[in-house]
Structure 1
Amino acid sequence: MTGQPLIGVTTYSTRARWGGVWDRHCSLLPTAYARYVQRAGGLMVLLPPDNPALAGAVAERLDGLVLAGGEDLDPALYGERPHPRTAAPVPERDRWELALLAAALERGVPLLGICRGMQLMNVHAGGTLNQHLPETVGHKGHNPRVGDFADHLVEPVAGTVTAHLMPAPCDVATHHHQGVGKVGPGLIASAHAEDGTVEALEYPWGQGCFAVGVQWHPEMRDDLRLVRGLVEMAGRRRGRSAAPAAGG
């Protein structure tokens, strides 16, 4: 490997206020994501919403990709009407990240989906979402305090990439009211909560890429195992792209 692998992280697209006077639409990301990638040895770059036609060009330049958390996906993407508790969609972000995800999978760019990012992976694969989990699981344990992260136990599925990186049940930081409904074709559930909620998805190793999504927020805790797995695979990709051609 030559140099740090370049890890792109998608951003929120929302209104923000700062400095006591400014109120503007922004592309932004909590600092925890940057620190999460940097602590694992990655070189982080922000990927705000852009023209979906440019997703391939962006993916070509990346060694790895993180699909960040954020706003609810548009239910129309998986053929449903909005639930009363589903927030207004952000179409420019949905279009951009779906194109970026497709481009990364096509090129074998290692990727990690976080919360919304995992849900995006499932919808892209043809799966659906449960638009309001409390109605299904009968409790608010996945999002007990709006605006704050809580912890609950997840158990990885043996034989998966997720279990390879996190072999034992552990507590994770959670803040989500939606979850996986039908798992998209080609994906496998690789971790569950105690109530049966799918907490991680991935494409099997046989697909030829590292593509893991988790419903929790690993960037909010000190556990770097997932992002180290991503950065390691991104470093291998960078090493291959930097290697001279045979006979060169």
Structure 2
Amino acid sequence: MSQPLIGVTTYLDRARWGVWDMRAALLPERYPRLVREGGGLAVMLPPDVPGAAAAVVARLDGLVVAGGADVEPVRYGAEPDPRTGPPARERDAWELALIDAALASGTPLLGICRGMQLLNVARGGTLTQHLDGHAEAVGVIGRHTVKPVPGSLYGSLVPEAAEVPTYHHQAVDRLGAGLAPSAHAEDGTVEAVELAAPAWALGVQWHPEMGEDPRVMRGLVAAASGAGR
């Protein structure tokens, strides 16, 4: 059986390499590494016009919406908190379109950190714009324990409480339509969300690409393998 093709979203930012200093489509290398460890083939998806999302998703077996900048609060009807980061409007529009296309087509979807938050917003949910205790320091990945909800999709992949790599300051507030929590932090913060079967759509608040546990990605790849695409 051929390896499933897993698209991973990227972001546009200024970068320097060799003699060059210009805007580039960026993705930390740990994302494609995690896809490989999960048994898939990774392809980078730079921001594009939202109208292209359905055609892009149609060529994929699975989709990962990667972590990154805060979702612009206007997307969920809120005023920005002073601690919310600057908007990434082009990326928001593109990734929301990808999520909509994946859900409409039944393409397996994994949202990581920002990707989980954006999945919630795509389903009409809201976000808490700042919470303490879920990041060690600027640019430093921390760790804390998350506990699965019994009977959930996430719980079927990781049935025990697990210490996970984490770096975030925002979280799900009101859940979007059809979404259910599938893991919590010890302080009660929702750490994973999912849609009910037959959809395979899962969001995790932490950064599995920064750890050594590929089980969530293996779940996505297994679902993508059986998608018949």
Measured against the shorter chain, the TM-score band is: over 0.9
Counterpart check, 1:102 vs 2:100: yes
Match of 1:246 in 2: none
5+ residue gaps, structure 1: 135-140, 242-248
Match of 2:116 in 1: 118
Match of 1:161 in 2: 153
Shift >6 Å, 4+ stretches: none
Scaled by the length of structure 1, the TM-score of the pair is 0.90
Counterpart check, 1:178 vs 2:176: no
Looking at structure 2, the residues matched to 194 and 88 of structure 1 have their Cα atoms a distance apart, in angstroms, of 29
Match of 2:65 in 1: 67
Match of 2:4 in 1: 5
Work out the percentage of aligned pairs sharing the same amino acid: 58
The question of whether the paired residues in 2 share the 8 Å contact of 1:13 and 1:90 is answered with: no
Looking at structure 2, the residues matched to 64 and 33 of structure 1 have their Cα atoms a distance apart, in angstroms, of 14
Scaled by the length of structure 2, the TM-score of the pair is 0.98
Looking at structure 2, the residues matched to 89 and 23 of structure 1 have their Cα atoms a distance apart, in angstroms, of 23
**Does the residue aligned with 1:83 lie in a helix, a strand or coil?**
coil
Looking at structure 1, the residues matched to 38 and 166 of structure 2 have their Cα atoms a distance apart, in angstroms, of 21
Amino acid at match of 2:65: L
Structure with bigger gyration radius: 1
Q: 1:132 offset after TM fit, Å? A: 0.7
Matches within 5 A, 1:77-226: 77-134=75-132, 141-205=133-197, 208-226=198-216
Looking at structure 1, the residues matched to 14 and 121 of structure 2 have their Cα atoms a distance apart, in angstroms, of 26
* Number of positions where the alignment pairs a residue of Structure 1 with one of Structure 2: 229
In angstroms, what is the RMSD of aligned CA positions?
0.9
Q: 1:40 offset after TM fit, Å? A: 1.3
5+ residue gaps, structure 2: none
Q: 1:102 offset after TM fit, Å? A: 0.2
Looking at structure 2, the residues matched to 104 and 55 of structure 1 have their Cα atoms a distance apart, in angstroms, of 9
Amino acid at match of 1:163: G
Looking at structure 2, the residues matched to 7 and 26 of structure 1 have their Cα atoms a distance apart, in angstroms, of 21
